Amino acid sequence: NRRIVLAARPQGRPVPSDFRIEEVPAPTPREGEILLQVLTLSLDPYMRGRMDAAKSYAAPVEVGGVMEGGTVAKVVASRHPGFAPGEIVLSHSGWQTYALSDGTGLRKLDPAQAPVSTALGVLGMPGFTAYAGLLAIGRPKPGETVVVAAASGPVGSAVGQIARIKGARAVGIVGGADKLAFVRDELGFDAVVDHRAPDLPGQLHGACPEGIDIYFENVGGAVWDAVFPLLNTFARIPVCGLIAQYSEAGPFPGPDRLPLMMRQVLTKSFTLRGFIQREFADQRPAFYRDMAGWIADGRVRYREDVVDGLEAAPQAFIGMLEGRNFGKLLVRVSAG
């Protein structure tokens, strides 16, 4: 059994030496347990938060502890009446090749219904985050303009495509020409701008001639600064993520924008609402039904970025925080 543990808490951006790979004996299941072989590990931005000691909405990973993460795994041995060897499950087994489970929180996956990796992306937590945040908080209406950054990733790509299904105009923000072409041509967003362009505020203005009604906030930083002046009265802002600042401890550069922001929140009646996707757990059945239908109809497309081997996970994770992934980032841990 190989596993990747947190070797040190990062100072700013994570570096490879913050992780350590370990070889340990494979565990054996006791009565009521199953042994899982991890096939695919999901790498997600929230893992950056788990590497810090600071208290957040979830407990941190301990130094020396196995890095946390969602996984698709195969049951290889079972002493649990509800699971049989060969079954494929969605689990939270972390960055390791094998794990024990007592069955709590597992969801059985049917490979005949959808590629099982989609349970970590478009048909899983990131897709659900987009669905719940956009529909429950953003509430798009036909003709409105919806802006989302990290638009080629699993959350942003679903936000824009669902917005279009609801009759809204989708404007994506991405880093780089390949992602821009993909989001515009493959995903069908109405407009896309590159956040590394020298004139981001001007380009975004050009892409949103009628202002912004919903800003689905994934990144913060310079993107938020460009979006803010374009927000319309009654704009809704589901605050989903702030990836541009996950490795920053502050103080943040530039003048204090808070008084100006609060004045605009008041005078333009903005709705600014942070959320963690699991708050909307009651909407998961509707999500599975709607999203599976949209994928089948070709109205929602998705892209995966798969790296090979558990040992590749730290570099791939570090790269994602800097935008080097292109699509839902997955690690193929075992061929199964």
Binding residues for ligand NDP (CB under 6 A): 44-46, 126, 129, 149-150, 152-156, 174-176, 179, 195, 218-219, 221, 223, 240-241, 243-244, 275-277, 320, 323, 325, 329
CA distance 332 to 310: 7
* Closer residue to ligand NDP (CB): 99 or 158: 158
- Closest approach of Cβ 56 to ligand NDP, in Å? 11
- Closest approach of Cβ 283 to ligand NDP, in Å? 13
* Closer residue to ligand NDP (CB): 195 or 236: 195
Question: Could you tell me which residues are beta bridge partners of residue 75?
Answer: 36
- Closest approach of Cβ 114 to ligand NDP, in Å? 19
59 by Cβ neighbours in 10 Å (0-12 / 13-18 / 19+) ranks as exposed
- Closest approach of Cβ 309 to ligand NDP, in Å? 20
CA distance 107 to 123: 13
* Closer residue to ligand NDP (CB): 34 or 134: 134
* Closer residue to ligand NDP (CB): 106 or 329: 329
* Closer residue to ligand NDP (CB): 77 or 149: 149
Instruction: Say if CB 65 and CB 137 are below 8 A apart.
Output: no
- Closest approach of Cβ 183 to ligand NDP, in Å? 9
- Closest approach of Cβ 252 to ligand NDP, in Å? 12
Examine residue 251 and say whether the peptide bond preceding it is cis (omega within 30 degrees of 0): yes
- Closest approach of Cβ 277 to ligand NDP, in Å? 4
CA distance 189 to 183: 6
* Closer residue to ligand NDP (CB): 38 or 155: 155
For the residues of 41-73, what is the DSSP string, one character each? Answer: EE--THHHHHTSSS--SSPPPPTTSBPP--EEE
- Closest approach of Cβ 150 to ligand NDP, in Å? 4
SS3 of residue 17 by DSSP: helix
CA distance 332 to 316: 12
Question: Could you tell me which residues are beta bridge partners of residue 331?
Answer: 41, 307
Greatest C-alpha distance within the chain: 63
* Closer residue to ligand NDP (CB): 76 or 290: 290
Cβ within 8 Å of residue 314, ≥6 positions away: 4, 14, 16, 18, 19
* Closer residue to ligand NDP (CB): 29 or 323: 323
CA distance 19 to 66: 10
CA distance 281 to 89: 19
